Amino acid sequence: MYGQALRCQQHQQVDKARQIYQELLNGDVAVNTRLEYLCNKNLATMEFEDHKYEEALEYFAEALALDATDVVVWYQMATTAIETGKLWLARRTLEEGIKVDSTYWPLVATLAEVLHEIGDIDEYGRMAAYIRANDPQCASIRIIDGSDRDHLCEI
């Protein structure tokens, strides 16, 4: 069933894919923890793509409760939280993601941006120093610091 859901998702048959993932999660079929994680992660991605951010956050949270080792999922949940305006949640999620992998640059740069946006200057300064030490040309920090206003931030 999971393979069928993936094929539906790949062919943009979102409703059918969503239905199959839900059937797997609702206990109609016995699934292991890994499969449950993947179903939640895929549902979260589909909800995000449909701009259903609150639903996506719920599925990302379920996925991370099952497996908190995928830094990309931490990043995806954080960007979803940003879309909802929940910068506190984005910050918390990004900080947890950094515990998993402090070298995943989109996550690190986004955390710096969120810290700047919420006004936590001390933590922003710490993150900015970390970024400058590892990537002196980082566009995000240069833009925030005002030293390179001609370029857009690309994360």
pLDDT in tens, 109-119: 999 999 999 99
| Average pLDDT, rounded, for the chain | 88
Q: Do domains 1-67 and 68-155 have the same CATH topology?
A: yes
- Considering the domain 1-67 in this protein, what is its CATH number? 1.25.40
Backbone torsion region of residue 120, taken as left when φ is above 0, otherwise alpha when ψ lies between -120 and 50, otherwise beta: beta
pLDDT higher than 70, residue 149? no
Q: What is the pLDDT of residues 9-37, one digit of tens each?
A: 889 999 999 999 999 999 867 779 999 99
Q: Which CATH architecture has domain 68-155?
A: Alpha Horseshoe (1.25)
- Average pLDDT, stretch 92-106? 95
- Name the E strands within 9-108: none
Cα 52 to Cα 31: distance, rounded to the nearest angstrom:
26
pTM for this predicted structure: 0.85
Structural domain spans, the chain: 1-67, 68-155
Check residue 30 and give its pLDDT: 77
Check residue 146 and give its pLDDT: 66
pLDDT higher than 60, residue 154? no
